[in-house]
A and B are shown apart, each in its own frame.
Chain A
C-alpha cells in the first residue's frame, strides 16, 4: 500500500490554492484499526454549491465529513475551511450529526437543544439570556417547530427531531452547513420543510454539504455530487457526474442496473439544463 501524497498544486499550500472554497480536502485518509475507511480523498467544495456525498453503506461518507471537521482523527491529509485551518474557521461551519447518534431521552427541551447552537456566541462562563432564547425561537420558527419549544425532545417524532437539529444549525449562523443524512427516516412533510430551508440558505449564498442516501432525489436537491466508496469515484456537477456509469462504479454490483438507469442523470435529465 503506497502512502498518500500530500503535495498541493505547484508547491502552494491547500489553502493558497483554494482560498474561497468552504471546504477543501487533500489526501484525506482515515482508518479504524488496520482497515482503511477512507483512502486518499481529494475534494474541493465550490463556494455556494449544494453538494451530496453519495455512496453505499460503509463507504465512509459520515467518516469523511467527521474527519474533515476534525471530529475523528485522520492518519493523513490536509483540510482547509475557507482557505484557513479548520480550527481558525470553526465558527463558519454548522455541523448536523446523524439524528440517531444522540440519545433523545436526554432531559432537555427543544429550545435547550437549539441553544446549544449558540454555544460560541454565549461564551465561556456565561449562560443563555433572553436574547439567546429569542434567537432560538426564531430559528425554530424557520423550521416550523416554534410551537414545540418547551416540549421534551423525546416526545418528538423522528422528523421533528431532525428539524430541531436543523434549527440548532441555523442558530450557528454559519457559512457552510455540513449535514449527515438529514433526510434519513423523516416524514415527507419534514423532508419538504428541510429542503426548503436548505434551498433558502443556498439562495443566500451559503454552502451546503449533505451525506445523502436517497439516490432518486439527488438531481432534484443538489447541484454537485461526490461519489465515494473508500476512495473517491467521481465528483463534479450533478448533470455530468451523477451518471449510471459512475454509480455502477460506486456501488459495484450492489445496485440493480435498472435502478441506476432510473435515478442517474440520463440524456433527458442532462438536457434540463440544471
Chain B
C-alpha cells in the first residue's frame, strides 16, 4: 500500500518536473501549411463583384472593403467606402484593427486577383477569419458594373436578374439616383461566421 503511494509521489513529481525539461517548442499561432492549402482551394473565399456591389448598395454594415493597391492608385479611383492597406504594409500593427473585427467580412481587392490573393494568404497566415477576395478585381468590376452586357433572350432568368442588378449598380455608382430594389438577387452572399461559445455566464 505504502510503496504504491511512494511510486505515485515520484510519478507526480516527475510529471511536474518534466514541464521544465521540455525542449522549447513554438506552437504556431497562425495557420499551418496543410490547413492553408485547403483554405486556398475553397471557392467560398471569393466574393463576386455582384455580391460586393449588392452589399455596397444595401449599405451592409458587415462589409469592410480593403484596397491593397498602392496609395496613389487608391487615391485616383477606388470603391465607395474602401480603406487602403497597401500590400507591403498589411502586417503593420496599425492596420490590424481593420481585419480582426468580429462579425465583419473583410474583402480584399486590387486591379486583378493577384495582389488581393497575396494579401488574403498573408492575412490567413496571420490567423484572420472572415476574409475574402473580390474575384476579378477592379478590372472585372468595370466590365460587369460599369459596362454590363445584356444577356441573350434565351438565357436563364438568373442572368437577367444579374443584369438588372448590374444596371442598377451602374446607375448607383455613376452618381444617378439609386434604384436599389431593382433586381436584387435572392440568393444570399456566402457569409461564414464563427459560432460564439454559448456557455452560460456566472461561474460555479
Please say whether chains A and B are actual partners in one complex.
Answer: no
A interface list, Cβ under 8 A from B: none
